[in-house]
Structure 1
Amino acid sequence: MKSLATVQRSLGDPSLTYPLLPPLTRGCPQTGTDELAQPLEVDYDYDAVPATLFDQEPGPDLARWAPLLPPLLAPTLGEGGTPLIEYDGVYIKDESRNPTWSHKDRLNRVTVSAALAAGAPGVVVASSGNHGASAAAYAARAGLPAVVIASAESPPAVQTFVRSYGATVLTVAAEQRWPLLRDIVDNLGYHPVSNQTVTHTGHPYGPEGYKTVAYEVFLQLGRVPAAVFAPSGYAELLFGVWKGFVELRRLGLAGSVPAVFACEPAAGGPTTRAVATGAPAAIVETGESAAYSILCEVGGRRGVLAVEGSGGAGVLVDDVALSRAQRELAGAGLWYEISGVAGYAGYRALGREFDGPVVCIATSSGFKDLGVGQTPVTVSDNPTWRDVQAEVERR
């Protein structure tokens, strides 16, 4: 199946369109301002989508959805097709089962394909962890060099993970990441797969990979859920999932779109701030949080459009609620990074009842957390079965 992508469309003014190539990674040049960058999205010839496209089972390799994605030139690593697990009245969409153990693999299959289509000599990304590892893996699979600009605050184990794919990893102070990224793009011609603008636009193709989460959930449930709760930093995932359900409705396969909820650390929360104040996007000061993967100062237009367009909301969750959610899910056999449980924690914090299924997206493996592997192990000295029994009872 071939891509039915037609143009890039401005979210600042949907009447403005641009050719598919080159991807406009610094937002819409006609509607963006110094204070607000306007993202673009990809549009398609929806009338030509095969009627049988959604008759298939949701499995790995995003190429099964090729008509509704930009051209996929990068080889697959088996991304997608993740399980939907029922737990305590909700459904957990387990994105930790992707090839590099996070949802970012859906985005990078698409964005590395864009780098190949543009003839770029390599890719560059500023990332605290998951995004960098995923971009490095997909670049390696496609035969492209990758430069990952990592924050000095990111876990050493995650930086080792990124380097394992052969990427050039530069660890710098957080505020230096984006100026360096722009310099690499401008002077070396590397293709950026992360944000470069004052408010978030990210890559125009990126959320197209994320919308396949909506396709899978729809087929796995056999219906549209009433609500979707997603961990949100820049809210690309949230926008992509919302767009996927909007497309299902447009194609006549679904009669509704779920309310989507941006679940953010209480120490940040730019999407929640923007929605609450009626702003198109927001930039906030951040405090301390263990949820480093989604602790963002900079928000963007996409997340606000998804929340407002679906009738959802922003939900702030503190580290106590996040830790509680992480322990609870791990006790049920589901171990995620503390950032990755923000969707479930947000659902519990909101405390609302919904008329239909609720899906909480869990984004990444617990191995990505701060401090993993650094706790000293206590060696037991000749334990007996009575010691074991006492320990089991204590727990």
Structure 2
Amino acid sequence: MLLTPDSLATAQRSLGDPALDYPLLPPLTTGCPRTGTEDVAYPLELDYAYDKVDTAALFAPAAARTGLERWAPLLPPLLAPGLGEGATPLVEIAPGVHVKDESRNPTWSHKDRLNRCTTSAALAVGARGIAVASSGNHGASAAAYAARAGLRCVVFAGPDLPPAVDSFLTAYGAVVLPVPWEARWPLMRQAVERYGLHPVSNLTATHTGHPYGPEGYKTVAYEIFQDVGTPAAVFVPTGYGELLYGVWKGFTELHRLGLADRVPRIHSCESAAGAPLATAIGRGVPAARVEVGATSAYSIASPVGGYRGVVALRESGGRALTLSDRQLAEARAELARNGLWAELSAAAGLAGLRSLDASELPDDGPLVCISTSSGFKDREVGRRATAPVAPEWPEVERRLRAAGLAD
């Protein structure tokens, strides 16, 4: 089923049983109906007519690579107008260590790649608007793409919604509803059912999310490949595991199409305050629920994981890394010393790499850390960090000496 001449997407396929497929529409946002249980919902992915991909044209060097249109044949039909998402820089911060800076997307996070695809799905099914449960990057991005597409957006946020993110959401005209964390998904389900909204975040007990969303994240892998070829390993900040899965699938497609000679190891980088993916891997189960402890890395502090992450780690030979706030803060400071202002959660990729000994790092290619979003999204943004200085030279000199600038 082809909705546009550009997209080669053909069907939705179950990750619970790859032999099961479904039509491309409607998107099955509650997971595979034939493999799910009360405890585990299995996500779906999209399948494509890979034999029809013109690899020479699609992966040829491009002078201007902005917007997911660049990769349209290997994406769901892009019905929603874009904002120039993608084509983010790959910055080498040390010999052989690169950072994919996703803060350069239109709403300053990787979520723009996902929401271009999910908002397109909302248009495809004729929804009047979209609904999302988020207190950060996902909500801000969903609100922007909904506004661009002429759709309403309802955001069920947490009670501690950062003021900067609240302003971001409101600027796009979103309906912002801060509620207790445990109430977000149940209330969102009711809004979807009663008001004809299209859900662009999770509805199930374990994480399935939207089947179209992670397809947008494949483009991160395509861009890395064009910049440095196949890396030895990719370190991915991980909450629900959608970005992790998308990056893995992108490299898998590159290998399937004969462009890459292998798939790199894909490592998940979670907050140790929760780490549902590491828990699932340790228990040998498809997905896990955990209690989340205190952490400032709110964007990746997830109480529930999903099967996508398990697949990405298992198939790539990656590791489930867990990180303390201290390790995240050290990585964020290292990024800042290299001119990159990252959200604490966004520094998890570099923190994951730095958590390994040199002997544990592969040497068969470059190492890539994904930095998912701007430091603007952190909770402390908006609080004044610098005290005023008296307009007198002795005080200025004292500050300069304290900063280590004295001769």
Question: Shorter-normalised TM-score: what interval?
Answer: over 0.9
Alignment pair present for 1:301 and 2:280: no
Inter-CA distance 217–288: structure 2 relative to 1 (3 Å threshold): same
Aligned-residue Cα RMSD (Å) equals 1.3
Show the counterpart of 1:353.
361
Q: Is the aligned partner of 1:197 residue 2:208?
A: no
Match in the other structure for 2:266: 260
For 1:24, give the aligned amino acid.
Answer: L
Aligned-pair CA distance for 1:120: 0.5
| Cα distance in 2, alignment partners of residues 188 and 56 from structure 1 | 45
Q: Which amino acid aligns with 2:220?
A: V
Provide the C-alpha distance between the structure 2 equivalents of 1:246 and 1:280, rounded to a whole number of angstroms: 21
Q: Point out the more displaced range, 12-21 or 324-333.
A: 324-333
Q: Does the alignment pair 1:286 with 2:297?
A: no
Indicate the residue corresponding to 2:60 in structure 1. Answer: 55
Q: Does 1:392 align with 2:403?
A: yes
Match of 2:253 in 1: 247
Secondary structure at the residue paired with 2:176?
strand
Aligned-residue offset at 1:178: 0.3
Letter aligned with residue 213 of structure 1: V
Partner of 1:2: 6
SS in 1 for 2:404: helix
Is residue 2:104 matched to residue 1:100?
no
Is the counterpart of residue 18 in structure 1 residue 22 in structure 2? yes
- What amino acid sits opposite 2:341 in the alignment? W
**Are the counterparts in 2 of residues 74 and 112 from structure 1 also a CA contact under 8 Å?**
yes
2:350 match: secondary structure: helix
Displacement of 1:376 in angstroms is: 5.3
The residue type equivalent to 1:237 in the other structure is: L
Q: Secondary structure at the match of 2:78?
A: coil
Indicate conservation of the 8 Å contact 2:248/2:312, yes or no.
yes
Q: How far is the alpha carbon of 1:391 from its aligned partner?
A: 3.4
Shift of 1:332: 1.5
Secondary structure of the residue aligned to 1:335 is coil
CA contact (8 A) 2:163 2:382 kept: no
How do residues 82-161 of structure 1 correspond to structure 2 at under 5 angstroms?
82-89=88-95, 90-161=97-168
The SS at the match of 1:350 is coil
Aligned to 1:180: 187
How far, CA to CA, are the matches of 2:387 and 2:400 in structure 1?
A: 17
- For 1:33, which of 15, 31, 37 is the aligned residue? 37
Letter paired with 1:63: E
Q: State the Cα deviation string for residues 265-322 of structure 1 (Å, max 9, x = none).
A: 0111011111122111111111011000000010000000000100001000000111
Code of the residue aligned with 2:255 in structure 1: it is: R
> 2 CA distance for matches of 1:394 and 1:267?
38
Shift of 1:154: 2.3
Q: What is the one-letter code of the residue matched to 1:386? A: E
Structure 1: how far apart are the matches of 2:198 and 2:204?
A: 15
Secondary structure, counterpart of 1:148 in structure 2: strand
SS at match of 1:72: coil
- Is the Cα contact below 8 Å between 1:150 and 1:159 reproduced in 2? no
TM-score by length of 1: 0.98
> 1:386 Cα shift?
2.9
The residue number in structure 1 matching 2:240 is: 234
Conserved? CA contact 2:15–2:44, under 8 Å:
yes
Rounded to whole Å, the distance in 2 between the matches of 1:178 and 1:276 is 27
For normalisation by structure 2, the TM-score amounts to 0.95
CA distance in 2, matches of 1:218, 1:247: 11
- Tell me the CA shift for residue 350 of structure 1: 2.1
Contiguous gaps of at least 5 residues in structure 1: none
Offset at 1:327?
1.1
Equivalent residue, structure 2, for 1:275: 281
Amino acid at match of 2:38: D
Aligned partner of 1:65 among 37, 58, 71: 71
Offset at 1:123?
0.3
Secondary structure at the counterpart of residue 379 of structure 2? coil
Determine if contact 2:100/2:371 at 8 Å carries over to the other structure.
Answer: yes
Deviates more, 1:207-216 or 1:154-163: 154-163
Identity %: 60
Q: Secondary structure at the match of 2:140?
A: helix
Q: Give SS of 1:260's match.
A: strand
> Do the aligned partners of residues 269 and 15 (structure 1) sit closer, same or farther apart at CA in structure 2, a change above 3 Å counting?
same
8 Å CA contact 1:93, 1:359 repeated in 2: yes
- Tell me how many residue pairs correspond in the alignment: 394
Q: What are the Cα deviations for residues 23-67 of structure 1, in whole angstroms up to 9, with x where unaligned?
A: 000000000000000000000000000132101337210011000
Residue identity opposite 1:372 in structure 2: V
- The whole-number CA distance in structure 1 between the counterparts of 2:392 and 2:279 is 54
Separation (CA, whole Å) in 2 of partners of 1:209 and 1:383? 54
Is the Cα contact below 8 Å between 2:40 and 2:205 reproduced in 1?
yes
**In structure 1, C-alpha distance between the alignment counterparts of 2:397 and 2:349, rounded to whole Å:** 40
Q: What whole-Å deviation, never above 9, does each CA across 1:85-108 have from its counterpart, x for those lacking one?
A: 001231000000000000000000
Seen in structure 2, the aligned counterparts of structure 1 residues 376 and 358 have a Cα distance that, compared at 3 Å, is: closer
User: What pairs with 1:300-339 in structure 2 (closer than 5 Å)?
Assistant: 300-339=306-345
> How many angstroms does 1:388 deviate by?
4.9
Q: Alignment partner of 2:155: what SS?
A: strand
In 2: Cα distance, 1:318 partner to 1:377 partner: 26
- 2:373 maps to 364
Q: For residues 127 and 388 of structure 1, what CA distance do their matches in structure 2 show?
A: 40
Unaligned residue ranges in structure 2 (runs of 5+) = none
Give the Cα–Cα distance (whole angstroms) in 1 for the partners of residues 321 and 258 of structure 2: 31
Structure 2: how far apart are the matches of 1:337 and 1:7?
Answer: 36
